[in-house]
Structure 1
Amino acid sequence: MRLNDIQDIFHKELDDLYDFKEVNRFYYLLLDHNFDIQRIDIILEPDKVISKKEETIIFKALDDLKLQKPIQQILGVAYFYGLKFRVNNETLIPRPETEELVDWIIRDCKDKIKPLKILDIGTGSGCIAITLSKNIPLVEVTAIDISGKALDIAKENALNNHVDINFLQADILKLESLLGEYDIIVSNPPYVRYLEKEQMKSNVVDFEPHAALFVPDQDPLLFYKQIARLSSNHLNQEGNLYFEINQYLAKDTTDMLDEFGFKNTIVKKDLSGNDRMIRTSFA
């Protein structure tokens, strides 16, 4: 079948679900990822045809898109801060807001000349830990997650991105202490209340791990409180604690940090104008 005919089918099947440009983006990503066919190849050869076997692959992806399965899970990869990460339904898909958090940390560390120890809590695909390790010199990074399957993906991503991370499997809510002290502790923990579930798109709710997304309505800061408690004993005096946060709970989160003795807490908005990240310290 001609690729241009397949593209027409994509629009016929998907334009009611996605923006026209988004459908084109999906289509070209699939061609590039599966067959190494670039957009320019189709321009130069408008009647280009693919095999029946290749059609099967592309139409399976179309079926997944009709179910609103994330394109990153269909491809099996996502890009974060210029790096490539393997993802699946055991890990959250790395998001632009988290890139902003990571960029904040990297900029804060740009003038540091001493070796730094960093802890990433709830690492998932490893995108935060690996990106920090890749972009901050003289750094030792440890990453924790409750899911062994997520850690398998994170370890693969660390290997593929040529960084050495200390991975640990643990339930942060059950830990009484951490191993050692850290200059930076960072976490993007679960923070979506179940009451907010109806506001979320089905591509997130139906395909991403709920354990990494949702918290009880009656105790939405349970991860933040536990991490703050652990950090109070394991964050160096001049170190920083960074969080990605629920935009609706910024004041609740800063008030909680005050109770644990943190000072100079800064709430930063993401590019969409939402309260999305926090930096705090004891100094």
Structure 2
Amino acid sequence: MKIKQYRTQFIQELTSFYDPYEAESFFYLILEDKHKLRQIDVALNHELIFTESDIKVWESLLVELKKEVPIQYLLGKTNFYGLDFEVNENVLIPRPETEELVEWIINENTSSKKIKILDIGTGSGCIAVSLAKNLPNAQVYAIDVSKKALETAKRNAESNEVEVFFLLQNILETEDLKEQFDIIVSNPPYVRNLEKEEIKKNVLDYEPHLALFVEDHDALVFYRKIAELAQKNLQKKGQLYFEINQYLGEEMKDLLQNMNFKNIELKKDIYGNDRMLSCKVSKTL
């Protein structure tokens, strides 16, 4: 069957589940991954074909897409901040909003001074690896409670040719980080159970709940704990960065103000939502 013809069929089969533009994007992601062909290749050569064995592969992917399995899990990878990352059911799929957090950190740390960074709840390692890749002066550490997530993150560090020191650790049970850091960054679980109805099926059914959800009655539990550790383990001029729940921006500011952090800055993401925050620890050494 001609690829152009199959493309039409593929999109039609998915329109009950996805927006046509999203279905079309899936087609070209799979095309490039499985056949090393781009949209321009199909546009320029209408005679390109899929073999019967090719179509079997595509049909099996269609079955999974109709179940709303994330395309990134089906392909086993995604792109984040210009780098390729392995993703699987043990890690969250990195979001564009998190790229904005990484961009913020990089832009604020352009000097050649040696710095030490800690990423708490690293998951796929997307934040830690991206920072290590773009801040050659940084020594980067990353913590996660999931052994399988850390295994994935280690592979991502290796494939992107950076050094990150990974630690298996439950941050809620941690009393001291043992070292001093110039930057602590975290994108911890922050979705309240009451917000589950807003979550798409492809996220709710397939991405790890351990990395997503917190109890409604204590939605800032991770932020409070990390801030407590930052008070002890950030350098005097150190910076704390968080990705946050869009509905809890003011609550986050209040939390950090009450803990005597200073220079608190709340930033919106590209969608206009309160999504990230930075502050400095207030202490004398």
User: TM-score category by the smaller chain?
Assistant: over 0.9
Q: CA deviation at 1:141?
A: 0.2
The structural deviation recorded for 1:74 is 1.2
Aligned partner of 1:119: which letter? L
Instruction: For residue 272 of structure 1, report the CA deviation from its aligned partner.
Output: 0.6
Q: CA deviation at 1:249?
A: 0.7
Listed one character per residue, the Cα deviations across residues 193-215 of structure 1 (whole Å, up to 9, x for unaligned) are 00000011111111100000000
**Deviation readout 1:158-179 (Å, 9 max, x if unpaired):** 0010000000001111111102
Counterpart Cα distance in 1 of 2:105 and 2:73: 27
Greater Cα shift, 211-220 or 247-256: 247-256
Letter of the aligned partner of 1:203 in structure 2? N
More deviation, 34-43/240-249: 34-43
Q: Deviations over 1:122-144 (max 9, x none)?
A: 00000000000111131100000
Counterpart amino acid of 1:209? P
**Paired position in structure 1 for 2:208:** 209
1:273 matched residue in structure 2: 272
Q: Which residue of 2 aligns with 1:135?
A: 134
Q: Distance in 1 between matches of 2:250 and 2:43?
A: 52
Tell me which moved more, 64-73 or 41-50: 41-50
- SS of 2:188's partner is coil
SS in structure 2 of the partner of residue 162 of structure 1:
coil
The SS at the match of 1:56 is helix
Question: Match for residue 174 of structure 1?
Answer: 173
User: Which amino acid in 1 is paired with 2:168?
Assistant: Q
What is the CA-CA distance between 1:17 and the residue it aligns to? Answer: 2.2
Mapped to 2, the partners of 1:144 and 1:282 lie a distance apart of 20
Q: Measure how far apart 1:52 and its partner are.
A: 2.2
1:11 corresponds to which residue?
A: 11
Aligned length: 282
Bigger mean CA deviation after superposition, 229-238 or 258-267: 258-267
Once the two structures are overlaid, the 10-residue window that deviates more, 253-262 or 154-163, is: 253-262
Question: Could you say which residue in structure 1 is the equivalent of 2:56?
Answer: 56
Alignment of 1:61-72 (within 5 A): 61-72=61-72
Q: Which stretch shows the higher mean deviation, 190-199 or 3-12?
A: 3-12
Report matched runs for 1:198-277 at 5 Å: 198-277=197-276
Instruction: Check conservation: 2:11, 2:27, Cα contact below 8 A.
Output: no
Distance 1:197 1:259 in 2: 29
Q: How far off its partner does 1:37 sit? A: 2.0
Match of 2:104 in 1: 104
Pairwise CA distance, 1:24: 1.4
Instruction: Point out the more displaced range, 64-73 or 207-216.
Output: 64-73
1:254 deviates by 1.2
Q: Give how far 1:16 is off.
A: 2.4
TM-score by length of 1: 0.97
Task: Kindly state the Cα deviation for residue 9 of structure 1 after the two structures are TM-superposed.
Answer: 1.9
My pick for the range that moved more, 39-48 or 269-278, is 39-48
Q: CA deviation at 1:56?
A: 1.6
Cα contact 2:180–2:235 (8 A) shared by 1: yes
The CA distance in 1 between the partners of 2:277 and 2:40, in whole Å, is 43
Match of 1:92 in 2: 92
User: Once the 2 structures are TM-superposed, how far is the Cα of residue 58 of structure 1 from its aligned partner?
Assistant: 1.0
Equivalence for 1:41: 41
What letter is aligned with 1:121?
I
Query: What is the TM-score of this pair, normalised by structure 2?
Result: 0.96
How far, CA to CA, are the matches of 1:179 and 1:6 in structure 2? 57
Q: Deviations over 1:71-119 (max 9, x none)?
A: 1111111111101100011101010100000100000001x23200000
Give the Cα separation in 1 of the matches to 2:220 and 2:41: 50
What letter matches 2:198 in structure 1? Q
Give 5+ residue unaligned stretches, structure 1. none
Question: Mean alpha-carbon deviation: is it higher for 12-21 or for 63-72?
Answer: 12-21
Distance 2:7 2:238 in 1: 52
Give 2:29's aligned residue. Answer: 29
